[in-house]
Structure 1
Amino acid sequence: MHTASTNICKRMGRSQELSEFKHGTVIGFHMCNKSICEISLLLNIPRSTVSGIITKWKQLGTTAERHAAI
């Protein structure tokens, strides 16, 4: 049985990762000269996330997540 306290605990912590599509949308808006604040408001994601996506794209040329090889 779920209680209010277990529901709160499930919501706390890191959010889910953004989709590749949303990463691409951030870069698309950036290339159209939208500000980080504007992108954040349009996509309803934190400014720090938008900034991180743009920084990674500028440094690495990609927004793809690196996954460890098994």
Structure 2
Amino acid sequence: MQTVSTNICERMGHSQELSELKSGTVIGFYLCNKSIHEISLLLNIPRSTVSGIITKWKQLGTTAT
């Protein structure tokens, strides 16, 4: 029997993307002046992912895939 993992890094793999809700949450925290490190810890996702979401949002104005 497999155990359920709460770590998104273990569940995601390289081919999956974060949901729009999770990406929107990252942007919400960013707009509330949370650092990339803080957002990463709060949502349990890698800092590189958080940074990528913020960069994409700044460039394109959206978090949609």
Q: Deviations over 1:20-53 (max 9, x none)?
A: 0000000000000000000000000000000000
Residue type of the partner of 2:25?
T
* Aligned residues: CA RMSD: 1.4
Aligned to 1:17: 17
- Deviation >4 Å, runs of 4+: none
1:33 equivalent to 2:33? Answer yes
Identity of aligned residues (%): 87
Which residues of 2 match residues 1-70 of structure 1 at below 5 A? 13-14=13-14, 16-65=16-65
Residue type of the partner of 1:32?
C
Q: How many angstroms does 1:15 deviate by?
A: 5.4
Which is higher, the Rg of structure 1 or of structure 2?
1
Q: How many residues align?
A: 54
Give TM-score scaled by structure 2 length. Answer: 0.78
Larger RCO (CA under 8 A, 6+ residues apart): 2
